[in-house]
Amino acid sequence: MKIKIALAQINPLLGDIGKNREKHLEFIEKAIENNAQIIVFPELSIAGYRLKDFTMEVALPVDSNFFNPILKQSKKIDIAFGFVERGDDSNIYNSAMYVENQSIKSVYRKIYLPTHGMFQELRFMGRGEKVTTFKTRYGNFSMLICRDLFHPSLLFLTYAQKTDIVLGMSSMPLRGVTGEKPAIQETVEKAIDTYTNFFSQFIVFVNRVGFEDGLGFYGGSFVGTPLGKKLAIAGILQEKLTFTTIDLEEIYKKRQLFPLVREEDLNIVQNNLSRILEENNGKF
């Protein structure tokens, strides 16, 4: 099956959820005009990233009416976007939502919230616990958010659930300016190249742009394919809507050429993980 995907590398305004929703609708409109079937926005695309104490003020429950205009458009296109979730457990999460045909298909809560150096996520948000795969008319999808992409264990979990397409939604700040590309971009591209190769899946990486308090989100969105191609390369530091058509057939081809999936044994993984946990009193 072939799918046309739109990567919305946007610059959300910090804390202005109304204006950000408008921007989502504009990008969605353009994606529909271009006959895309899915549009993917970056991490916290509705809220902005460095919210700090403002986090609480822009948190929305999953069933908030605020999302209605976006849901309405999902009649014509599947939409994945990021927002601050006010959980039904009274906690706040850094979440991503996938909507399809006017209904919420999946909500993913970021698991690894960086809290060191310039990052302060755990000060303001709670940690998600579940990596899931959800079926859409275009195949099996998983969503992961930014730092999650640096934990191969989470990518493995999507692979273990037969995910075809991982949506990697990010607000990754630029750092490292000695090479041709920002060092962080090299790191992300290497990681995605490795995951798509060994897990034979597509990764749609959408990173935001813009500056917040000196952090400059670099963009550099692209789609990595199981056969090692990079598609819809968006470039850095500019808002951009890029399109690409992917062919899910590539997963089948790759899995025959390099049949790791046939060899994979989740029981061995589970038994070893159980043993390791037991030997370490249930901790890492």
Partner 1 sequence: MENFSLNYELVKKFIIEFIKEEVHSNGFNRCVLGLSGGLDSVLVAYLSKEALGKENVKAIIMPYKTSNPASKEDALVTITHLGILYETIDVTKIADAYFKKEKEMTNIRMGNFLARTRMSILFDKSREFEALVMGTSNKSELILGYSTWHGDMAASLCPIGDLYKTQIFEFAQFMKIPKKIRTKKPSADLWPGQTDEKELGAKYIQIDSILTLYVDQRKTKDEIIAMGYSQKIVESLLNRIKKTQFKRTLPPVAKFSPRTFGLDFLYPHDLTK
Cβ-based neighbours of 272, under 8 Å, separated by 6 or more: none
Q: Which of 211, 233, 235, 245 binds partner 1 (CB under 8 A)?
A: 211
Closest distance to partner 1 from the beta carbon of 108 (Å): 27
**Closest to partner 1 by CB, 61 or 176:** 176
Closest distance to partner 1 from the beta carbon of 215 (Å): 6
Residues 53-72 that bind partner 1 (CB under 8 A): 56-57
Closest distance to partner 1 from the beta carbon of 203 (Å): 25
The number of beta carbons lying within 10 Å of the beta carbon of residue 86 is: 18
C-alpha closest to that of 38 among 86, 84, 1: 1
Single out the segment in contact with partner 1 by CB under 8 A; choices: 164-172, 173-181, 195-203, 237-245.
Answer: 173-181
C-alpha closest to that of 203 among 239, 230, 181: 230
E strands, 148-214, where? 165-170, 202-207, 209-212
Q: Which of 42, 82, 173, 219 binds partner 1 (CB under 8 A)?
A: 173
Q: Is residue 22 near partner 1 by the rule CB under 8 A?
A: no
41 and 76 Cβ atoms separated by less than 8 Å: no
* Angle of CA points 209, 28, 186, to nearest 5°: 30
**Closest to partner 1 by CB, 78 or 121:** 121
Single out the segment in contact with partner 1 by CB under 8 A; choices: 122-130, 170-178, 201-209, 272-280.
Answer: 170-178
Residues 24-53 that bind partner 1 (CB under 8 A): none
- In the numeric block, which tokens belong to residue 268? 């061995």
**Closest to partner 1 by CB, 44 or 174:** 174
* Angle of CA points 232, 235, 239, to nearest 5°: 95
Measured in degrees and rounded to the nearest 5, phi and psi for residue 257 equal -70, -35
Q: Which of 169, 174, 209, 232 binds partner 1 (CB under 8 A)?
A: 174
Binding site for partner 1 (CB under 8 A): 56-57, 117-118, 173-177, 182, 211, 213-216
